[in-house]
Structure 1
Amino acid sequence: MTVDQSGLVVDVTIVERWRDSVPPRELGELLRTTANTALLERVTAQLAEGAPRPSGPAQPAAALGDAGGDPAGVVARGLKQELQHLLARFDTELEQYRAELTKAAQTPTTGVAANGVVSVSLGGNGFTAVELEPAWLHTARHTEIRVTVLSAFQDAQRRTAHAAIAPPASVARLVELGSDPQALLRALGLGG
């Protein structure tokens, strides 16, 4: 099982002779366990690497403006007012965002492969079930199983409610402003 930087399942490996080492009735549980292990390893690696950088495009330095070293100038005053306004809303909006994400993460969802023979359930603690139609599994080739299982995993992750929750405006803007510290300092009249 391979997951990308954001924790999405991007590949599943099913060897040609998988039936020699895994009874067909146990394949779903093995896939569920393997997917959860891959997610845990991805999270552990991210924690070891440090906090992830924002993935969105950073605002160009020129767009912030340059206070020309004058912290009392028009550009710096405007940015300070914006920062005060953002920080005043930040705690409340961040708490609401956390609550929405927590609720979404705890809402179970199920993804199904297009042909309906594989379903993957996702809950608050990762993948909770992988079910494969026994009659189909008995005759399916390993390559067909791989593609079908991958599509069900991806459908489950696509359906998760938290994937559609955007961060609040204050959080997004503060991340954007902090993405280029030198430009921020110039706009505040504190950098050269």
Structure 2
Amino acid sequence: MTADDSADVLSVTLAAQWKQSVDPRVLGFAVTAAMNAATMQALAKQVERPTVEEPPTPPVPQQDGSRITLDEATQLLDAVQADLDRFMRQVAEVTDRPVTVESRGGHVRGTTQRGQVLDVAVDPAWAHTARTSELEQEVLEVLRALRAPGADLARGPRSPAIAELTALVSDPNALLRRVGLLP
């Protein structure tokens, strides 16, 4: 298994003669162990070499000098709160309960919770007769799908309302002018 420094799975490769050395009934255990080892290796690399990400550049606030009314400010804050509530529900769904995915072929199934792969199950009868490339593809599909829910959320909450509020507070003087506290 090959994974990048973020533990995103890039490829899955089975040993050439795996069918002679591994019982298809325990193949899922081997995949689970390899995925968790790749995740731990990625975490170790991140600890050794923390990456400093540039915060996204907030959109430029309106330069037209228009005032923000109390109603507009309240609507913006309500929209931001709704977006944050929605984001927190999504985070809770990903972290608080196991997520199970199945390959399109239906031969591989995996479960994850809190970023850890709990289980990968491979249909042993199919694994015994399937081409290695088919097996690798279905395992790769499942492992990528298991990483997908948390990966998107790791970037944090994003929405037009959050971007607008970020733009407003990024320039305190412009904000004070827009709310009428500065000329």
Mean alpha-carbon deviation: is it higher for 107-116 or for 46-55?
Answer: 46-55
- Residue 6 of structure 2 contacts residue 43 of structure 2 at CA under 8 Å; is this kept in 1? no
Distance 1:125 1:162, change over 3 A: closer
Instruction: Say if 2:164 is the partner of 1:163.
Output: no
Gaps of 5+ in 1: 66-73, 75-89, 178-183, 188-192
| TM-score, with length taken from structure 1 | 0.61
Q: In the alignment, what sits opposite 2:17?
A: 17
Distance 1:5 1:64, change over 3 A: farther
Pick from 85, 97, 100 the counterpart of residue 110 of structure 1: 100
C-alpha separation between the residues in 1 aligned to 2:46 and 2:150? Answer: 23
- Residue 111 of structure 1 contacts residue 157 of structure 1 at CA under 8 Å; is this kept in 2? no
Helix, strand or coil at the partner of 1:31:
helix
Helix, strand or coil at the partner of 1:15:
coil
Helix, strand or coil at the partner of 2:14:
coil
C-alpha separation between the residues in 2 aligned to 1:167 and 1:155? Answer: 21
C-alpha separation between the residues in 2 aligned to 1:96 and 1:107? Answer: 17
Helix, strand or coil at the partner of 1:34:
helix
C-alpha separation between the residues in 2 aligned to 1:5 and 1:98? Answer: 26
Q: In the alignment, what sits opposite 1:33?
A: 33
- Residue 112 of structure 1 contacts residue 156 of structure 1 at CA under 8 Å; is this kept in 2? no
- Residue 46 of structure 1 contacts residue 52 of structure 1 at CA under 8 Å; is this kept in 2? no
Q: CA deviation at 1:44?
A: 1.9
C-alpha separation between the residues in 1 aligned to 2:7 and 2:55? Answer: 15
Distance 1:173 1:44, change over 3 A: farther
Q: CA deviation at 1:11?
A: 1.2
Q: Percentage identity across aligned positions?
A: 25
Distance 1:113 1:97, change over 3 A: closer
Q: CA deviation at 1:51?
A: 4.1
Helix, strand or coil at the partner of 2:45:
helix
Distance 1:100 1:132, change over 3 A: closer
Distance 1:96 1:148, change over 3 A: closer
Counterpart residue identity of residue 111, structure 1: V
C-alpha separation between the residues in 2 aligned to 1:116 and 1:96? Answer: 31
C-alpha separation between the residues in 2 aligned to 1:12 and 1:98? Answer: 33
C-alpha separation between the residues in 2 aligned to 1:154 and 1:3? Answer: 10
Distance 1:36 1:151, change over 3 A: same
Q: What is the CA deviation profile of residues 96-123 of structure 1, one whole-angstrom value per residue up to 9, with x for unaligned ones?
A: 9668535522221111111101101111
How many residue pairs get aligned? The number is: 169
Q: In the alignment, what sits opposite 1:70?
A: none
Q: In the alignment, what sits opposite 1:145?
A: 135
